C-alpha cells in the first residue's frame, strides 16, 4: 500500500509540474483576463460536469468569498448548482443545453465564460462555450489533452494525462494559482510587507 500511495503522489506532482511549467504564460494571460473581467464589474460563469462541476462551485466560492486575503467579493457564478434550472432544461430540452441556456440568460457583454471538461468533448460544455462566443463573451477552457474544447475556447489550459484524477487535481491547482494571481493583480497592497 505504501508504494501505491507514493506512486500516486509522484504521478500527481509530475503531471502538475509539467502542465504548469509548460503554460506559465497562458496561466498569466488567463489571470489577466479574469482580473480585467471582475475589475470592470463583470462576472465569471463557470460550468462543467461531475468533478468539474464541483470544481466550478469551488472556484466560484474562492472569487465570491475570498481566497487568501481579505478583499471585496468578485463576481463568479457556478452554473452547476441550480438543480431546478438544470433539471428543467434537461427535461424540457436536452441535457446538452443545460449550460448553454444559462449562459444565454445570464451572460452579458464583458463577462467571461469558463468551461471545464477533462475530455474536452463534453457536449454541454462545448455548446455553452459556443453560445458564449456568439453573444460576445471571452471564453476560457480547461481540458485534459484538448478535445474539441481546445478548438473553440479563446484561451485553453491543457493537462496532458490519461488519468482523469490527475487532470482534475491539476485543474484545481491551476485554478488556485489563478485565484492568487487575480488577487495579486487587483489588490497588490494586500501582499506588500
Q: Indicate the pTM of the whole model.
A: 0.96
**Domains and their CATH numbers in the chain:** 34-187 (3.40.50.10490)
Torsion of CA 18, 19, 20, 25, to 10 degrees: 120
- Note the pLDDT of residue 89: 98
Provide the pLDDT confidence category of residue 179 given band limits of 50, 70 and 90: very high
Has residue 129 got a pLDDT over 90? yes
DSSP secondary structure letters along 74-134: --EEETT--HHHHHHHHHHS-GGGTTHHHHHHH--TT-EEEEEESSS--HHHHHHHHHHHH
Average per-residue pLDDT in the chain?
97
Provide the pLDDT confidence category of residue 148 given band limits of 50, 70 and 90: very high
Which tens digit of pLDDT belongs to each residue from 92-121? 999 999 999 999 999 999 999 999 999 999
Provide the pLDDT confidence category of residue 146 given band limits of 50, 70 and 90: confident
Has residue 193 got a pLDDT over 80? no
Which tens digit of pLDDT belongs to each residue from 43-92? 999 999 999 999 999 999 999 999 999 999 999 999 999 999 999 999 99
Average pLDDT over residues 30-42: 98
- Note the pLDDT of residue 83: 96
- Note the pLDDT of residue 192: 85
Q: What are the CA-CA distances from residue 48 to residues 18, 23, 125, 128, 155 (Å)?
A: 23, 21, 6, 10, 16
What's the grid cell of residue 105?
Answer: 440568460
Amino acid at each position: 500500500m505504501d508504494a501505491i500511495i507514493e506512486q500516486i503522489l509522484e504521478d500527481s506532482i509530475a503531471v502538475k509540474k509539467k502542465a504548469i511549467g509548460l503554460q506559465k504564460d497562458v496561466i498569466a494571460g488567463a489571470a489577466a483576463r479574469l482580473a480585467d473581467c471582475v475589475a470592470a464589474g463583470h462576472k465569471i460563469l463557470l460550468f462543467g460536469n461531475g468533478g468539474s462541476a464541483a470544481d466550478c462551485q469551488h472556484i466560484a466560492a474562492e472569487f465570491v468569498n475570498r481566497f487568501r486575503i481579505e478583499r471585496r467579493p468578485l463576481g463568479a457564478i457556478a452554473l452547476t448548482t441550480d438543480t431546478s434550472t438544470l433539471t428543467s432544461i434537461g427535461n424540457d430540452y436536452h441535457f446538452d443545453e443545460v449550460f448553454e441556456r444559462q449562459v444565454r440568460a445570464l451572460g452579458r457583454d464583458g463577462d467571461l465564460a469558463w468551461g471545464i471538461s477533462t475530455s474536452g468533448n463534453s457536449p454541454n460544455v462545448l455548446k455553452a462555450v459556443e453560445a458564449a462566443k456568439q453573444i460576445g463573451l471571452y471564453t476560457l477552457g480547461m481540458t485534459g489533452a484538448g478535445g474539441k474544447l481546445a478548438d473553440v475556447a479563446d484561451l485553453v489550459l491543457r493537462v496532458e494525462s490519461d488519468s482523469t484524477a490527475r487532470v482534475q487535481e491539476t485543474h484545481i491547482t491551476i485554478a488556485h494559482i489563478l485565484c492568487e494571481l487575480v488577487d495579486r493583480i487587483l489588490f497588490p497592497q494586500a501582499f506588500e510587507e
